[in-house]
Chains A and B, each alone.
Chain A
Amino acid sequence: MGHRKYELYSMDWDLKEELRDCLVAAAPYGGPIALLRNPWRKEKAASVRPVLEIYSASGMPLASLLWKSGPVVSLGWSAEEELLCVQEDGVVLVYGLHGDFRRHFSMGNEVLQNRVLDARIFHTEFGSGVAILTGAHRFTLSANVGDLKLRRMPEVPGLQSAPSCWTTLCQDRVAHILLAVGPDLYLLDHAACSSVTPPGLAPGVSSFLQMAVSFTYRHLALFTDTGYIWMGTTSLKEKLCEFNCNIRAPPKQMVWCSRPRSKERAVVVAWERRLMVVGDAPESIQFVLDEDSYLVPELDGVRIFSRSTHEFLHEVPVASEEIFKIASMAPGALLLEAQKEYEKESQKADEYLREIQELGQLTQAVQQCIEAAGHEHRPDMQKSLLRAASFGKCFLDRFPPDSFVRMCQDLRVLNAVRDYHIGIPLTYSQYKQLTIQVLLDRLVLRRLYPLAIQICEYLRLPEVQGVSRILAHWACYKVQQKDVSDEDVARAINQKLGDTPGVSYSDIAARAYGCGRTELAIKLLEYEPRSGEQVPLLLKMKRSKLALSKAIESGDTDLVFTVLLHLKNELNRGDFFMTLRNQPMALSLYRQFCKYQELETLKDLYNQDDNHQELGSFHIRASYAAEERIEGRVAALQTAADAFYKAKNEFAAKATEDQMRLLRLQRRLEDELGGRFLDLSLHDTVTTLILGGHNKRAEQLARDFRIPDKRLWWLKLTALADLEDWEELEKFSKSKKSPIGYLPFVEICMKQHNKYEAKKYTSRVGPEQKVKALLLVGDVAQAADVAIEHRNEAELSLVLSHCTGATDGATADKIQRARAQAQKK
């Protein structure tokens, strides 16, 4: 079985306590280590307040704080690298990487009453969960502390004492609990408790002392009181292997040590002074532990740290094994040798190279070296492997360079973060699993902004995902520095961020506001180019009027409307109106809304502005849209007229008063004459009267409303012609001299196809229109005479154009003659 262990760091942390006296939590992916001296276990030191200390994986102190809250049962890191401290009373306190208190939450009343006996922090694809075993031997869990939903698990029948061991599993996206009571195993899901039996478990087990679930929740290991280890799938459907280590003492820790996609199964078991790697091989690998050690399961191995060292134990990757196996003839191994010989300027280089080439394995060799380089921790090893790869590449025609380039880049990043100052000992596999984005987040979390930015620039990440994001985080951190003045912070941030794309000043401002720095927030918002983004925060900060102007600036009417409604609730009506008054855009928007939804408010708005003109219009509209009764309509009109007078719009006022008179009159006409008069225009009212034969009334009305003569004549003319009351029409035409001339009479008669009547009027048509009139009644000959008499060229042409066919032949000739004569002169 190929496992190897190498040192990550020699720890120079100055531990005051022994690890065994502390609650310890180390985050996966090379994460930080938290230590809390556990005074509550020993009665004697209860008076001394313990210290919570946080270190990087390399032992650099990150935070140290005096623990002032209640007794802690368990510590654990969330996926976001937040430290969760589970107190005995079920309250979970959340701290940041730098010991900054974030928030707290409770695991519920039941937990509070029965106290916490034991707790586990676990990770699922949704986030980080907390599982609690209470004093009443019941389990409560929350699968995601970011979205806290407490689930109380079903009771385990007959459970009288704490289980000998337990763990959380995650299957089909649901969190379960597996617990061992004596020789029995129970699986708890949120609905039921079921008894389970691992297949192929050796007989004679009377209790389980330890259990371990693999990093990916796929495998389970059970350690029994007989010193026997069962390894199988988490579903408990399949046994993978077993091992008998013949040690009956309960191990301190047991964790899986496997590599993704590897067929090898291995579990690392730790006792006080002994470390054992067991798998399906008959022999185990044993290490002696010189000091108190702690195991941290990782995706592809196990980290082991103690007072003085921090090591990594893992299964040797295939590529590395092939290359470094003693006397290996693998292509990678040969290539590495070739390169070494080449450097020594030995001709052996050529021999090795030929050997690989003869087998046609050079491509494979290069790939092997590149891959193996990724798994090496020491830069000199990485270099020599990469050098070998590069050397081999020279002899290949078409080897795509990207895998080599990418590996160089990745290793450069990895070496940078592995540096003990940074202290993130990521392996290549972990790094790929974590992704560069998350790694950058973690650097940001450690406030390592310059390094993060360097990495972004080195990898040429797009600004929005890379540099901008980091700068924004930096700014959010910066605003929390309370000892720096608002001006300085704002300036510093703006200097650094400028208008980098993708930086949201409003987010930074929101953070500033979160720290109670409203003034700073407002200053920062000034840098936000998208005014729409400023609005929500301004509203939150109760700067509604500023929010309004920003919303207007944004051009987004919906945003303006949102602010308006906010203002409406926040201010009293008077102030609200005053605010609107200074913002015409918002005012028109609100008016539009009121027009449909709140007519009364609209009126108030006009009133407030002393906008009498609009107020008048408002009441006019009301007079025919809202009011039904005639009295109401007249009253509305009266109000309108008053408003128009105030607006110094006498015209409108008078027109409105006329309309009031007309309405009343129309009402009377309806009462007295029947028929429909209401809502007719004045013109139509008079017409209706004439058509109804009420000439007297019509004339009275015309006089009352001072209808101009011209209009009255047109009106009567049209009405009488419609009635075909030719007698009355003639009488009318003779009543006095027509103000509209007599051509309209001719026209209207012709329109009714009454040539006889039309002819009556042609003689009275004035000389200018005589030709037109004569042509209308079809008297072409006479028209020609008149035109000739007038000596008017235009009239002559007009008549000529009316000369059709033989009948008018003579007339046409006459005109032509007249024309010729005129030209002679």
Chain B
Amino acid sequence: MAFPHRPDAPELPDFSMLKRLARDQLIYLLEQLPGKKDLFIEADLMSPLDRIANVSILKQHEVDKLYKVESKPAVSSSEQLCFLVRPRIKNMRYIANLVNADKLAGRTRKYKVIFSPQKFYACEMVLEEEGIYGDVSCDEWAFSLLPLDVDLLSMELPEFFRDYFLEGDQRWINTVAQALHLLSTLYGPFPNCYGIGRCAKMSYELWRKLEDEEDGETKGRRPEIGHIFLLDRGSVDFGPEVTSSDKSLKVLLNAEDKVFNEIRNEHFSNVFGFLSQKARNLQAQYDRRRGMDIKQMKNFVSQELKGLKQEHRLLSLHIGACESIMKKKTKQDFQELIKTEHALLEGFNIRESTSYIEEHIDRQVSPIESLRLMCLLSITENGLIPKDYRSLKTQYLQSYGPEHLLTFSNLRRAGLLTEQAPGDTLTAVESKVSKLVTDKAAGKITDAFSSLAKRSNFRAISKKLNLIPRVDGEYDLKVPRDMAYVFSGAYVPLSCRIIEQVLERRSWQGLDEVVRLLNCSELAFTDMTREDKASSESLRLILVVFLGGCTFSEISALRFLGREKGYRFIFLTTAVTNSARLMEAMSEVKA
């Protein structure tokens, strides 16, 4: 690692074993179909596969040609076809078309479908309905944990978020439970468990069930990892008036990614200018970065930007994006955007921000950006006031096409973009108050304001947990003092703050109010029943499970917390994501 840890920080477990396991299993599966074969791979699986087994390994096991599973049929002359796919119905159709075409042509070949990470009954059903169930053999490649970094495991299931939080489809929960089971078999047991959210609770319970069924395996072993923390990305039900916490966070976080670069520009503009210069110089090398893994990239960046110390590690992840943003827009535009985001976050100048968003839409700047800003507004204000809700949507449809009517329906269902309930119109008053308060920075009125502001969950939570630290004077980014450093001291990611608080208390005790505001009163749990064999070292090794994805900002913030407190965090996420990806997941696109 390029940055120093406290000398007493525990060592991370070796996760390369996961790769070896996955590779060995894949090879075993490939050998189940002896002889030369063509391999059809689903696009989503290509880059994970590449990290596990490269082409030469595949060739060693008699894979002849590689094809991508896509809409148009591939022409393969091999006598044996092997499909490596996610358990999705559209893939089954693809395979069925291919097999049925062969049948029509009177051709018989061997077909094998390998589902990763598991097969679903619905898929087999489709194969049966398409009349090819008997023609193909099905297998599972239980590859669910990809080590992206020494402390970062990804399940590479970006659809988890949409499937579960939008469609209410729980099929991946079992996969998560299996993955946790695997981890606890290899590195467990985990003596202390915390979690929040319905999805977290379900995953936890299912995982425990698996453990109980195979009892005795981990019994008596010394735990390597002391705590496990399950967080779900929609720790609240989807309802019209409830803003879900963690999802809101995610939008915020990424809004803040740019804040990081731009905010307090008096102080930071120099750094930014320097960085963008630097970035341009590095652009050529960055073009190579697709081929690099995160670790290589990290080393690479940290060496190049030595003088800027660790915060630039995070920056480096965004440098590409900033570059392109800089190119696309004038600097002024960008500053406007940042200003608006910051204003939304702190809750002042709501009217102005709304106009800004409107202009953003009118000018067709970017469908995803526009959507993100609208969501940010909705979340921080606990819903849009009805007039804005209608007019922004109308503008959006006019700009980007009518199919987004469905996008709005999705966002509403997910609680990301909602209309204020009639009783909530007070926010208008609030925002006036807030304007007053912030502008004059009168401490006394702040308290009065905060009691008013309780209507907005975000504001209440943010206040309760001090997510927007009040900083006197400049925030010296070279000497970060809290997790807010990832956003230039402007904001601490909620998830990270919660983890910090719970770890401090070793339970949810004292966080009742926060839990209530998150609408998770019954869904926050602590389980410390495991025998207390944990060494003090293992107690400082913490596995954080993000159900629905996490951002690099959160990871960086927790890494910082770890360095401060002598913890080491291990991240397990269903996918690494950001606000744009989140918005894309919610967007309806014409086929």
Contacts and interface: CB of A to CB of B under 8 A. Distances in A.
Interface string A665-687: 00000000000000111110000
Interface string B204-233: 011001001101000000000000000000
Contact of B398 (A565, A593, A707): A707
A597 B167 contact: no
A589 B121 CA distance: 12
Interface string B476-488: 0000000000000
Interface string B398-419: 1111110110010000000000
A655 B171 contact: no
Nearest to B212: A529
B179 to A, nearest CB: 14
Contact of B405 (A557, A597, A652): A652
Interface stretch (A54-62, A298-306, A506-514, A618-626): A618-626
A325 interface: no
B45 interface: no
A565 B122 CA distance: 10
B129 A597 contact: yes
- Interface SS of A by simple majority: helix
Interface stretch (B356-364, B560-568, B573-581): B356-364
Contacts of B359: 710, 714, 740
B362 A591 contact: no
Interface majority SS (helix, strand, loop, mixed), chain B = helix
Question: Which of B93, B168, B174, B405 gathers most chain A CB within 10 Å?
Answer: B405
B125 interface: yes
Nearest to B590: A624
A681 B402 contact: yes
B474 to A, nearest CB: 17
A659 B177 contact: no
B184 interface: no
Interface string B43-76: 0000000000000000000000000000000000
Contact of B89 (A530, A557, A593, A659): A593
B167 A588 contact: yes
Nearest to B333: A747
Interface string B107-142: 000000000000011100110010000000000000
Contacts of B332: 772
Nearest to A649: B409
Given A555-B177, A555-B205, A561-B121, A683 B167 contact: no
Contact of A589 (B169, B394, B398, B399): B169
Interface in B153-198: 163, 167-171, 173-174, 177
Contacts of A620: 402-403, 405-406
A280 B590 CA distance: 92
Interface string A449-466: 000000000000000000
B364 A683 contact: yes
Contacts of A501: 215
A354 to B, nearest CB: 49
A282 B515 CA distance: 95
A625 B591 contact: yes
Interface in A687-715: 705, 707-708, 710-711, 714-715
Nearest to B87: A558
Contacts of B330: 747
Contact of A591 (B167, B399, B401): B167
A592 interface: yes
B264 to A, nearest CB: 15
A617 interface: yes
A584 interface: yes
A658 B89 CA distance: 34
Interface in A552-566: 555-558, 561-562, 565
B398 A596 contact: no
Interface in A581-620: 584-585, 588-589, 591-593, 596-597, 613, 617, 620
B19 interface: no
A194 to B, nearest CB: 39
A681 B398 contact: yes
Nearest to B400: A681
Nearest to B171: A557
Nearest to B119: A558
A313 B409 CA distance: 87
B90 interface: yes
B120 A558 contact: yes
B390 interface: yes
A100 to B, nearest CB: 33
Contact of B168 (A530, A558, A584): A584
A718 interface: yes
B339 interface: no
B33 interface: no
B349 interface: no
- Indicate the member of B177, B398, B405, B590 with the most A CB atoms within 10 Å: B398
Given A597-B126, A655-B397, A714 B362 contact: yes
A718 B363 contact: yes
Contact of A593 (B122, B174, B209, B363): B122
B532 to A, nearest CB: 23
A491 B125 CA distance: 40
Interface string B526-539: 00000000000000
B399 A681 contact: yes
A651 interface: yes
Contact of A557 (B120, B390, B393, B402): B120
B502 interface: no
A214 interface: no
A589 B170 contact: yes
A33 B332 CA distance: 100
A557 B167 contact: no
A751 B173 CA distance: 51
Contacts of A772: 332
B169 A596 contact: no
Contact of A705 (B358, B398, B406): B398
Given A613-B409, A656-B405, A711-B395, A561 B122 contact: yes
A555 B122 contact: no
Contacts of B168: 584-585, 588
Contacts of B177: 555
B406 A562 contact: no
Contacts of A655: 393-394, 397, 402, 405
Contacts of A747: 330
Contacts of B358: 710
A555 B390 contact: no
Contacts of B400: 681, 683
Interface string A520-537: 000000000110000000
B174 to A, nearest CB: 6
B202 interface: yes
A711 B405 contact: no
A596 B89 contact: yes
A621 B406 contact: yes
A617 B406 contact: yes
Given A588-B167, A593-B89, A679-B590, A562 B121 contact: yes
A533 B449 CA distance: 55
A769 to B, nearest CB: 10
Contacts of A711: 362, 395, 398-399
A681 B174 contact: no
A555 B202 contact: yes
Interface string B372-403: 00000000000000000010011101111111
A718 B120 CA distance: 51
Contacts of A624: 403, 590-591
B126 to A, nearest CB: 6
Given A662-B402, A682-B399, 8 more contacts: A555-B177, A561-B120, A589-B170, A617-B405, A624-B591, A625-B591, A655-B405, A714-B362
19 contacts: A501-B215, A555-B206, A558-B120, A558-B121, A558-B122, A558-B174, A561-B122, A584-B168, A588-B167, A588-B169, A589-B169, A589-B170, A597-B126, A625-B590, A652-B409, A655-B393, A681-B400, A710-B358, A714-B362
